[in-house]
């Protein structure tokens, strides 16, 4: 499964949920798969999709909130896993597209082939944490996390595949903020 295929599957499980996407190719690819007003594309700041998603989930406990993170982003902000586990927002789904590289900046290897991030999330106290490696397993787990109580962590193992020729997010940061707030508010 490639990262793009994983994002295409994730998109089929979404309705109008707020979704906070990690910076780099994850935001860019998801924008090309399906641009949604409720998608908050983190432009530039690495490591922060998880804390923004946590804030959104805590502010609106009645709304299922989804974070689409990357392995490099999660490794950079590992402390946020503890913050999420401690706050225990039932409505939060934390996905991690794990290609074992910093693909957006040239495929430098990350540590996620040695460090089992789903076990780190579980050790912090996420009540649901799983690794999936195939499209079928991803579909089954997405069904579980979207229907169940969180915080849930899903490590989605993918092959690097993002296409550097695909267009960048065309909305300005201000537009992204305003669109997100209009859906989310």
Ligand X SMILES: Cc1ncc(C[n+]2csc(CCOP(=O)(O)OP(=O)(O)O)c2C)c(N)n1
Closest CA to 80 of 54, 44, 119, 117: 54
Please tell me whether residue 139 adopts helix, strand or coil conformation.
helix
Q: Is 53 in the site for ligand X (CB under 6 A)?
A: no
3-state secondary structure at position 156: strand
Among 38, 70, 150, 151, interactor with Mg ion by CB under 5 A: 70
Q: How far from chain centre, in Å, is Cα 133?
A: 16
157 lies in the site for ligand X, by CB under 6 A: no
Nearer to ligand X among residue 39 and residue 110 (C-beta) = 110
Nearer to ligand X, 91 or 138 (CB): 138
Distances (CA, A) of 125 to 87, 95, 144, 163: 10, 16, 18, 35
For residue 150, the minimal CB distance to ligand X (Å) is 21
Query: Considering only residues 14, 46, 58, 183, which one is a binding residue for ligand X as defined by CB under 6 A?
Result: 46
Burial (CB count within 10 angstroms: exposed 0-12, middle 13-18, buried 19+), residue 91? buried
* CB-based closest residue to ligand X: 70
Could you give the string, one character per residue 72-101, with x where binding to Mg ion holds by CB under 5 A and - elsewhere?
x--------------------------x--
Name the residues that contact ligand X, by CB under 6 A: 22-26, 44, 46, 70-73, 99, 101-105, 110
């Amino acid at each position: 499964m490639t990262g793009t295929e994983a994002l295409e599957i994730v998109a089929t499980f979404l309705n109008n949920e707020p979704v906070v996407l990690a910076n780099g190719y994850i935001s860019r690819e998801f924008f090309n798969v399906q641009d949604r007003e409720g998608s908050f594309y983190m432009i530039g700041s690495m490591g922060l999709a998880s804390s923004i998603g946590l804030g959104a989930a805590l502010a609106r406990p009645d709304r299922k909130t989804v974070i689409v993170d990357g392995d490099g982003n999660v490794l950079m902000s590992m402390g946020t896993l503890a913050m999420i586990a401690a706050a225990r927002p039932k409505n939060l789904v934390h996905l991690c597209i794990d290609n074992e590289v910093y693909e957006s900046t040239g495929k430098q290897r990350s540590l996620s082939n040695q460090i089992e991030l789903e076990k780190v999330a579980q050790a912090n106290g996420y009540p649901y944490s799983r690794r999936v490696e195939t499209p079928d397993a991803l579909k089954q787990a997405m069904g579980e996390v979207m229907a169940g109580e969180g915080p849930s962590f899903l490590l989605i193992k993918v092959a690097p595949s993002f296409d550097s020729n695909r267009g960048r997010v065309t909305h300005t940061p201000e537009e992204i903020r305003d669109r997100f707030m209009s859906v989310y508010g």
